[in-house]
Amino acid sequence: MEASTPGDSAPGGTDWASLSSPELAARVTPESVALLPLGAVEQHGAHLPLSTDVDIADGLVAAARAHVARDIELLVLPTVAVGASMEHGDFAGTLSLAPETAIAHLVEIGASVARAGIRRLVLFNSHGGNKAVVDLAALTLRERHGLLVVKANYFRFAPPDDALPAEELRHGLHGGALETAMMMHLAPHKVRHAHLGEAVSLGARQEQTGHGLLPEGDAGFAWLAQDLHPDGVVGDARLATPALGERLVAHFAARLAAVVEAAACFDLTQLGARSRE
């Protein structure tokens, strides 16, 4: 049996950076999909590491690759580890780019993908603070380079039925049960179990007292992490278990794989032509 090389076809795609330049050029087809994982290095309270969003992004991508059909040419770009995290900037350890810098960073990476001849790009995001950045970068890449840019935020994926109480899913949006459970599965050695607790969000208190204005929703307000809770986290991390984390990772990874396959099959002729294209 011959040894495989980085240029060989493999289920679940190939790491972009593992290829040589000629190998990558030879793999590019009109259906090739580039996947760019996006995370953040920022505070997640006393019970989770600064790397939480990066660990979750990488873990979900690794799990999704096992589900992607072998005939899809998937090229996984290096993870963007530092994002737009200004809402966590008052807590030690947070690394953040200015929104303008973060947008420009993604646009330049996307431009490089386009120069390689790839027209399909999936931006897979694990950090809520990156969402506005992703939206603007994606539109810029569509306008400048004619790319199909798919914006996938795992926290926008529908969770498994009855995985967590509805209130926890609504308000435990940073360091709560969902992120903690996935970290218990993906990187259990990084979870500080002695510090697991409940941090009741300002949003939950507003909802309980009948106030209509919440941090998130159809008319949310801009917030810093300490606005929601002095510890910078919200939700009940005590609800997290490794089994729940395994279930969540499998569920979100399957959805990501479906997104990648949809991007590969998308008929690009459906996109309107630009006058200068």
What are the mean pLDDT values of the chain's consecutive 10-residue runs (277 residues total)? Answer: 46 91 96 98 98 98 96 97 98 98 98 98 98 98 97 96 94 97 98 97 89 86 96 98 98 98 96 71
What's this model's pTM, rounded to 2 decimal places? 0.94
What pLDDT is stored for residue 155 in this prediction? 95
Give Dmax over CA atoms of the chain in angstroms.
68
**Which amino acid appears at position 45 of this protein?**
G
For the chain, what are the domain ranges?
A: 14-269
Q: Which CATH architecture has domain 14-269?
A: 3-Layer(aba) Sandwich (3.40)
What pLDDT is stored for residue 9 in this prediction? 44
Q: 95 near 82, Cβ under 8 Å? A: yes
- Spell out the residues 6+ positions from residue 12 whose beta carbon is closer than 8 angstroms to its own: 65, 66, 67, 68, 74
**Which residue matches tokens 């087809």?**
29
Stretch (H or E) spanning 236? strand 235-236
What pLDDT is stored for residue 138 in this prediction? 98
